[in-house]
Structures are given as structure tokens and as C-alpha cells.
Amino acid sequence: MTRWYNAPLQLHRRWKQSKLHLNKRQIDNGRYSILDQIGQGASGIVHLAVATKTNKKFAIKEMNKSRLQRRYHQSQLINNRKPLYPESKKRKLEDVVELQIEEIEILKQLPAHLNIIRFIEVIDNDPDNEDSIFIVTEIAENGIIMDVTPHAVTKPLSEGQCREIFSQLVDAVEHLHLNHIVHRDIKPQNLVMSNNNTVKLIDFGNATCITADTLSSTSSSVGSPAFMAPELLKREHNVSPTCADLWSMGVTLYCIVYGHLPFEKASLMDLYSDIQNKA
């Protein structure tokens, strides 16, 4: 199974097509009730939930704290990074969780934009779910724009649809970059559409703020492998922090125009080699 091509997050095509069943599980002392699971990936599970007081629906991404810690240490090994805390072989769970929350807090302070999913809140201290972090966002009723599967062809979108979707994606990414944020995981599965056909960029689990101190972190290999820029895979120096987003935007456009990935190989190493040598 080549799930790693599009990891970390996979949303169902359209959440409203799934069978809703009222789960008795509640979040944050009953403020939210879980209705259904609408997505799943390496970074967590996405639930359709309802606010109990207003009956308004939201998307809630649930991330397991222990799994976040394991993924963090795996990424350090993959990127050959030195430990941030040399005196400790493993970064404490609280530090990893705090790092995740800090990234989300950055995005909560981002000026609102029509084409970026609206963040509502982060819930980290739920007494009934102590090992989970919950990220509450608005819901995009029509689901993802396209489900791209490795070694398979999906029905391409029309030229008009591609033009409209990509135009809105450009607006979203321009807004991020003007506010010194890079997404680092742009792909069709991270673009959802609302009822009025507004495209919204989602899943900011790999996003980071561009500062003098964090430029090196933006050139590390994070995100979905099939959408990674060759400059990052080659570990070139003095690479623009925004190159990851610009490259993955191009791959995303290719996918919605042709219905399949531009680079597909049986192994991760062969995939990386193909991207570096044929790009």
C-alpha cells in the first residue's frame, strides 16, 4: 500500500454523503458532540461535530499527543536534525504538544481570508480526552476537490473548474506568504469546497512562520512526498522558504487537470529520485 504518497491527511470526498450517526462521545465538557468521522490520516482523525448550544456544525481534527511525539522524533531522524535539547535524547511530550499548539496559534492570529479555512479554537485540556488535542474549524460542506490515488487515474476537472480552483488557491497562498507563513502541504486533498463553491485551504499541521530563526526549518523535508519540491529533496542551500508551496501548487494543478500524480514510483526513494532528476 502506497499511502505515504498523500500522507498525512485524507478527507472523505463529501462528508454529507456519509451516514450520520449520533455518537454519544462529547468534547470539552459537552460543548461539542461528535456526529461522524469524515477523514483520517497520519496526523489525526477529522470529525463532523455539532456545538450543543447553537446546533452549528464544525470540523474537529483530533490528534493523539503520544503519536505527535513519535512523529516528531521520526521527522528529526529523517531530516538528520540535531536534538533541540542535547541533554535529552527525546523531547518531552509537553514540548512537542506545545510546538503543535504554537503553530495553530500562529494561524489563529492570521487575518481572515475567504480561501483559508477559519480556525475556531484549540482544545487541549479536555478531562475526558487527556491524550488528545482538538482543533475546531469551520466546515466545508462539499468536501475535498479531488481524491488523488497513486497509480490510478481520477476523472479530471474541467478547464473552467481548474482555472477557478487554482485562482482561489493562488489567493490563499499569497495571503499566507504576505503574512510570513508557509503551508508546506498543499495538495488536492487539502483543498475543500463550501456550498457556494468557495475553495478553502485546510490542514495546517506542517505550517510554520517564516522568521530569521526558522528559515532552516522551512527547507526540511516535510509534507506529502509526492508533492515535495526538488530543491528540498536535494537539500540545497539558500532555498526560498516559499518554494515548497509554489512547487506543490504546480503539482496540485497537474493533478486536477490530468487526474493523476506527475511522479509515481513503487518506493519512496525511487519517487524522490524521479522528482529530483525529471523536474
- Residue positions annotated with a catalytic role: 185
In the chain, beta strands by DSSP E:
9-11, 26-27, 32-41, 44-51, 57-64, 119-123, 132-137, 181-182, 191-193, 199-201, 208-209
Fill in the DSSP letter of residue 123: E
* 217 membership: H or E segment, kind and range: helix 215-218
61 belongs to an annotated ligand binding site = yes
Give the largest CA-CA distance in the chain: 56
Distance, CA of 77 to CA of 57 (rounded, Å): 39
Contact 271, 227 (CB under 8 A): no
Contact 44, 64 (CB under 8 A): yes
Distance, CA of 135 to CA of 199 (rounded, Å): 20
Instruction: Please count the residues of the chain.
Output: 279
142 φψ region: left (φ > 0), alpha (ψ -120 to 50), beta (else): alpha
At 226, list the grid cell: 509526492
Contact 8, 61 (CB under 8 A): no
Binding residues for ATP: 61
